[in-house]
Amino acid sequence: MLGCGLRPNTSMHAVEELVAPPYLFGDPLRYTLVAEDGSRLQKTYTTHGFVGWAQRYDRIADLLGAPDLRKGPVLQAECYLLEASRLFECARDVLVRDPLAFVEHQALPPR
């Protein structure tokens, strides 16, 4: 994680897909795909939701220690080096026990 901290940790989405915590999925969306030859195909995709939730993947820092999580500078950026297999294993175990461990409620903006 070069210069961005641990909160925007896309690797955590893979763990969430395995466990499927209650906040993860949004409403399914149906698309029409049009091929180059003009043929059409209907496809339904399940999106990630996160509506009303803030991602707190930085909490993994409380669970992993050296050598699985290392922090240090690269030039002037604060960076993290994560051992991916341990991240997946640890985060999966935590999400199974507490499906809301890596999120917190977020107030929605007024409409």
What does the alpha-carbon distance between residue 63 and residue 65 come to, in Å, rounded to a whole number?
Answer: 7
- Please check whether residue 30 lies inside any domain of the structure: no
- Please check whether residue 87 lies inside any domain of the structure: yes
| Confidence band, pLDDT 50/70/90 cuts, at residue 33 | very high
What does the alpha-carbon distance between residue 97 and residue 109 come to, in Å, rounded to a whole number?
Answer: 30
Please choose, from the candidates 102, 61, 64, the residue with its C-alpha nearest in 3D space to the C-alpha of residue 85. Answer: 64
What does the alpha-carbon distance between residue 79 and residue 73 come to, in Å, rounded to a whole number?
Answer: 6
Distances in whole angstroms, Cα of residue 57 to Cα of each of 10, 73, 88, 108: 9, 20, 12, 20
Residue 3 pLDDT: 61
- Please check whether residue 37 lies inside any domain of the structure: no
- Please check whether residue 65 lies inside any domain of the structure: yes
- Please check whether residue 2 lies inside any domain of the structure: no
Q: What is the pTM of this model?
A: 0.78
DSSP letter string, 77-98: EEEEEE-HHHHHHHHHHHHHH-
> Where in the sequence is the domain holding 57, given as residue range(s)?
52-76+83-111
- Please check whether residue 11 lies inside any domain of the structure: no
Domain count, the chain: 1
SS3 62: helix
pLDDT in tens, 38-49: 999 999 998 888
